[in-house]
Amino acid sequence: MTLKIQIKERRVNYFFFSVATISIASLFMIMMFLFIEGLPIFTKVSVKDFVFGKLWYPTSEPPDFGIFPLIIGSLGVTIFSALMSIPLGVMTAIYLAEIARPGIREVVKPLVELLASLPSVVIGFFGMVVVAPFLQEVFDIPTGLNLCNASLMLAFMSVPTICSISEDAIFSVQKNLKEASLALGATQWETIIRVILPASISGIAAAIILGMSRAIGETMVVLMVAGGAAMIPGSIFDPVRPLPANIAAEMAEAPFGGDHYHALFATGIILFLLTISFNLIADHISHKYRQSGEASL
Amino acid sequence: MDSPIKMSTINLDFYYGKFQALQHISLDFARNQVTALIGPSGCGKSTFLRCLNRMNDLILIGRVEGKILLDNEDIYASNVDVVSLRSRIGMVFQKPNPFPKTIFENAAYGLRIKGIKNKNTLSEHVENSLKQSALWNEVKDRLNESALGLSGGQQQRLCIARALAVEPEVLLMDEPCSALDPIATQKIEELIQELKANYTIITVTHNMQQAARISDTTAFFYMGKLIETGNTDIIFTRPRYKETEDYITGRFG
């Protein structure tokens, strides 16, 4: 190799190295910022009182910074939406990848992906104007803006993500595994359950993580339809105030550098930790049940 | 006394859409014998093999005409259950395709889908089929390891064990040695010789010497037609047709 080419190669390497460094460093700096702005609140309130405190009255005198109801609100909407979106998304993916004729798949899959591109404010608007009055009337409850409505809307948002990515994972399972199973006298259903799903489980787990991360971090929808009451819900028809909605609703009115301001950043830290632990769990599950390197994303 | 013919095809045609891939194939497969299907690539021998266990049902634009008889019963008749048919006719594929599961679970797969749950029964069958496929001694201490850690030849013998575990009557092999090295190939060939005592074996091969070594009957396919069939010794020494002679002597294909 001539010297000239070597220098050129090295320059290309440096270029990519610096681009990668910049993007990772900026993400890291955002995280630093989050912690620098959030941690001071813990000089006023203990971590335990902050996380498990049941009252959130940031502007009263003295203020209460307990975000437990908000955490429950976030977990509540995420879990209920997952209960709907995971079965719907994964089963639709199985149908599209394994059962539907190729013609149907080619039409339906882009449609599902199109749903993913609906802006969240549109979904929130739909929840407010259509779903809320419907819930209120059918279940005879004081408000249609509640945990149930928010979960439905979040499920609506995560189904396309879960479906589309799971479908890719299922579809990429090698044809020869499917044939091996069928040739042994397995039915199509047995083949799906025993061979195709296990071989694509890590891809499906990734799809579920992405779908649920979208739900837990989603702000606009929960701000619009969750009801906004910072209380621990007693039923799925109670209004809740998930963490992102809380931050979005109050950040503009919190005085810069004050306790309320720091408390909101600390809320962001908790949300960040929730998302991380969530990803770790899902990652662990996908590794534990992964059968091979194939068909994973 | 069982009829000496285990399986036969009568005027079998196969179409991919409008393209006719097989033309009027009539061929008998003798019980407990090895039949080799030979011919140049694209001559239809794999398509033919896949008609025999109705794997071609998976091809949406595929269409079969004519008859395939297994013990004198038409396998394409409307009352035939494809699933139980396929458990009577095992298949080994060109490329080893073990499931990404443990060695034990691979061999036990067919039994599990038959609903056998008893651990002892499963272990017994798994051991038997691994012994039949001459793999037992190499894997008996690591049955719970992934099958993907085996070598190519071992994987292929595992696939044979997996097919044998459900105790099929006929074993179809689609170029079972094409992805293997000479030593693994030799092992599989010896295995085929042993297995024919219990099974009727139909194998596709591109390797002339292999067909000559392992088969009792050879059928030569060319351009979707069955050109010639007969005793392997005769086909390889005194073929009746010029195409057959040209192919087996390596003048084309």
* B105 occurs within a structural domain: no
* B132 occurs within a structural domain: no
- Nearest chain B Cα distance for residue A93, angstroms: 20
Q: Judge: A179–B163 Cβ closer than 8 Å, yes or no.
A: no
Cα A15 from Cα A7, distance rounded (Å): 12
Would you place residue A89 in the very low, low, confident or very high pLDDT band (cuts 50, 70, 90)?
A: very high
Q: If DSSP codes are grouped into helix, strand and coil, which group holds residue B239?
A: coil
Give the model's pLDDT for residue B183: 85
Q: Which residue among B53, B113, B159 sits closest to A190, beta carbon to beta carbon?
A: B113
* Overall average pLDDT of the B161-179 stretch: 91
Q: Judge: A292–B60 Cβ closer than 8 Å, yes or no.
A: no
Start-to-end C-alpha separation, chain A = 37
- Nearest chain B Cα distance for residue A142, angstroms: 52
C-alpha distance from residue A152 to each of A141, A196, A202, B75 (Å) = 16, 29, 26, 50
Tell me the pLDDT tens digit for each residue of A14-66: 999 999 999 999 999 999 999 999 999 999 889 999 999 889 988 888 888 99
Residue A140 has what DSSP assignment? T
| Cβ partners under 8 Å of residue A36, min gap 6 | none
Instruction: Decide which of 1.20.1250.20, 3.40.50.2000, 1.10.8.190, 1.10.3720.10 is the CATH code for A47-296.
Output: 1.10.3720.10
* B54 occurs within a structural domain: yes
> Which residues between 146 and 175 in chain A have a beta carbon less than 8 angstroms from any beta carbon of chain B?
174
Where are chain A's structural domains? 2-43, 47-296
Number of structural domains (chain B) is 1
Instruction: Report whether pLDDT(B1) > 80.
Output: no
| A78 reaches B (C-beta below 8 A) | no
- Nearest chain B Cα distance for residue A187, angstroms: 6
Tell me the pLDDT tens digit for each residue of A207-239: 888 888 888 888 899 999 998 888 888 888 999
Give the model's pLDDT for residue A31: 93
Nearest to A155 by CA among A82, A73, A48, A209: A82
Would you place residue A256 in the very low, low, confident or very high pLDDT band (cuts 50, 70, 90)?
A: confident
Question: What CATH number did the domain enclosing B238 receive?
Answer: 3.40.50.300
Which chain B residues are Cβ-neighbours of A190 within 8 angstroms?
A: 113
Q: Judge: B110–A184 Cβ closer than 8 Å, yes or no.
A: yes
Q: Which residue among B53, B60, B112 sits closest to A183, beta carbon to beta carbon?
A: B53
Q: Are B199 and B169 in contact (CB under 8 A)?
A: yes
- Nearest residue of chain A to residue B83 (CA atoms): A185
Start-to-end C-alpha separation, chain B = 41
Tell me the pLDDT tens digit for each residue of B97-137: 999 899 999 999 999 998 888 999 999 999 999 988 889 99
Give the model's pLDDT for residue B187: 86
The pairing of beta strand B34-38 with beta strand B217-222: parallel
* B111 occurs within a structural domain: no
Nearest to B134 by CA among B186, B170, B96, B188: B188
Give me the domain span that covers residue B91: 5-97+170-248
* Overall average pLDDT of the B166-189 stretch: 89
* B39 occurs within a structural domain: yes
CB contacts < 8 A, A to B, total 72
Give the model's pLDDT for residue A62: 86
Give the model's pLDDT for residue A209: 85
* B215 occurs within a structural domain: yes
> What are residue A134's DSSP bridge partners?
none
For chain A, the average pLDDT equals 89
Q: Are A202 and A287 in contact (CB under 8 A)?
A: yes
Give the model's pLDDT for residue B19: 92
Residue B200: φ, ψ to 5°: -95, 125
* CB hemisphere CA count around B176 (13 angstroms): 34
Q: Judge: B159–A180 Cβ closer than 8 Å, yes or no.
A: yes
